[in-house]
Amino acid sequence: MELTHINGEGEVEESEAERGSFRQNLFHQSNYSGVVRKKAYIFDGDGNYFNKEWDLVQGSGKEFCWYHVELPKGNHKLSQLAQHLIDALSPPLKLQDILSLISNSPFCGHVDGALVFRVNSPGPASSKFTFRIAARVTENSVITVSLGRVPRLGFSPANESLLSEIPIVESSSNGSRTSEGRDRGGIVIREHVLDFLLTMNHSEEADNPVPKSVADLVVHIIDTHVDHLQDVVTKLEIELDAVELEMDRGGFAMKKQMLDSRRFPKMNLDLQRLLQVIAHGEQVFPRVKEKCSSKEWFSSEDINALEELIGRIRRLKENVGFIANRVTAIQAGLDSWQSEQINRKLYYLSFLSIIFLPLSIITGVFGMNVGGVPWTGQRDPALKDGFRNVMMVCAAMLAVVLLCFGFPALYSRAMAWWRRPTMQRSWSLNRRSFIRRAGMDGGRTDRGGYVRL
């Protein structure tokens, strides 16, 4: 087996024969080799690891292997992702093993003698809120599948971390400081790099402790998944803070744009997808801890680490719930602002109607084609009653309309007045009966002023 050794000091030792064998192995990969990224490691159990060829062979003795498949994020159907995974893992894995890794919904159980757990959300693969992480664990090997890149999941040579360097911020105002820092050996950190690092809640791959057992590797995989979720939540919090600041500074145009773009309903939908992923992890990881506690190669420290990760994901669920409440409150504020704008416009329209309603009544009355309209000079005796008759019809119609609107109130008042004597008579009888009972009870026993009910 051709290996690339990485010693404890981070120096890479690789021969030309090993490079040629590795290139030959890459040449013989399948048609999906350009789409699916694969990584293979072997650990010696003493804190060292090696890059190895993709042969899906288990380790022996203290050694154990890790094979990771990174599926592409994009507009791919689940069946297409399954085809990619079949091409990468078969043989030696069977179809049931592969389907247990790629299927949707949470799962934790034994498949063909191996412990399999997955946290796969059913959303579209192109969404940044769709997460897939699955693992097949045996005593000497681990096979994992993820959708897209999971930060800090892999391993890099030591002493190559950006976080261990002396930083220098590059800007136009401190050019002399930048050149001076370069002379002293500092690393220039740009603003967009700082923005990215501020959203990270973990170190880089170069700072990952190398696992010494399969149990440490399982804990590392779950830990990186929780860190990935925490990164997404942190980015959402930063984005929400920026949006709130824009709303406070912006005016009518900014709020109108946010309402038209439906930004907060989309954000709320993304939060619900994220909550679904976290809920899947909350279901699966306790079962993983329960099943791993019965394994001989799982120590009590690893069980405690899993318990801590379960607590983290529960706290993360509460945090996402708080963010969802903030988004709902902001959307409610925008809806209230929109209702106020509509009410203000309706107020202006009603004010205009108050102005023009009397004018329309006057023009309607004096524009009728009947005789007898005053101040029009109509002297024909045969038509002198036309205007009076039309006004009487209008008055009758107005009375009918008012009666229809006021009939329920008049009916309730009439019924209340009709029932008032009956209610007074009933109240009087009840009062006299109560006084009689109270007087009889007071005459029998001394209750200290209390009346027995």
Count the neighbouring beta carbons within 10 Å of the beta carbon of residue 116: 19
Q: What is the pLDDT of residue 209?
A: 78
Spatial neighbors of 264 by CB under 8 A, at least 6 apart, are 258, 327, 330, 331, 334
Above pLDDT 90, what percent of the chain?
6
Task: Bin 90: left if φ > 0, else alpha if -120 < ψ < 50, else beta.
Answer: beta
* Residue of 231, 217, 215 lying closest to 277 (CA atoms): 231
Question: Residue 382: pLDDT above 60?
Answer: yes
pLDDT tens profile 90-123: 888 888 888 888 888 888 998 888 899 999 887 7
Pair of tokens at residue 438: 């109270």
Report pTM: 0.64
> Distance between CA 59 and CA 144 in Å, rounded?
16
Query: What confidence category does residue 186 fall into, taking pLDDT thresholds of 50, 70 and 90?
Result: low
> Distance between CA 110 and CA 144 in Å, rounded?
15
For residues 285 and 310, the answer to whether their CB atoms sit within 8 Å is: yes
Query: What confidence category does residue 383 fall into, taking pLDDT thresholds of 50, 70 and 90?
Result: low
Q: How many residues does the chain have?
A: 453
Enumerate the H helices of 250-384 as residue ranges.
252-261, 263-292, 300-366
pLDDT tens profile 320-357: 888 888 888 888 888 888 888 888 888 888 888 888 87
Query: What confidence category does residue 14 fall into, taking pLDDT thresholds of 50, 70 and 90?
Result: very low
Query: What confidence category does residue 377 fall into, taking pLDDT thresholds of 50, 70 and 90?
Result: low
> Distance between CA 373 and CA 105 in Å, rounded?
82
Q: What is the pLDDT of residue 176?
A: 46
For residues 81 and 102, the answer to whether their CB atoms sit within 8 Å is: yes
- Average per-residue pLDDT in the chain? 76
Q: Which helix (H) or strand (E) holds 231?
A: helix 214-249
Q: What is the pLDDT of residue 28?
A: 36
> Distance between CA 259 and CA 281 in Å, rounded?
34
CA 351 to the chain's CA centroid = 45
* Residue 4 bridge partners (DSSP): 51
> Distance between CA 63 and CA 44 in Å, rounded?
5
Pair of tokens at residue 19: 């490079």
Highest mean pLDDT among 45-54, 188-197, 387-396: 45-54
Spatial neighbors of 165 by CB under 8 A, at least 6 apart, are 186, 187
- List Cβ<8 Å contacts ≥24 apart for 329-333: 330/240, 330/243, 330/244, 330/247, 330/264, 331/264, 331/265, 331/268
Enumerate the H helices of 367-451 as residue ranges.
386-444
pLDDT tens profile 394-408: 888 888 888 888 888
Q: Which residue has the higher pLDDT, 208 or 449?
A: 208
Question: Residue 25: pLDDT above 50?
Answer: no
For residues 146 and 324, the answer to whether their CB atoms sit within 8 Å is: no
* Residue of 104, 63, 88, 106 lying closest to 143 (CA atoms): 88
Residue linked to tokens 């890790």: 66
Query: What confidence category does residue 67 fall into, taking pLDDT thresholds of 50, 70 and 90?
Result: very high
Write the DSSP assignment of 139-202 as a string of letters. Answer: SSEEEEEEESPPTT-S---TT--GGGSPEEE--STTHHHHHHHHHTT-EEE-HHHHHHHHT--S
> Distance between CA 432 and CA 319 in Å, rounded?
64
For residues 152 and 201, the answer to whether their CB atoms sit within 8 Å is: no
Q: Which residue has the higher pLDDT, 74 or 284?
A: 284
* Residue 107 bridge partners (DSSP): 118
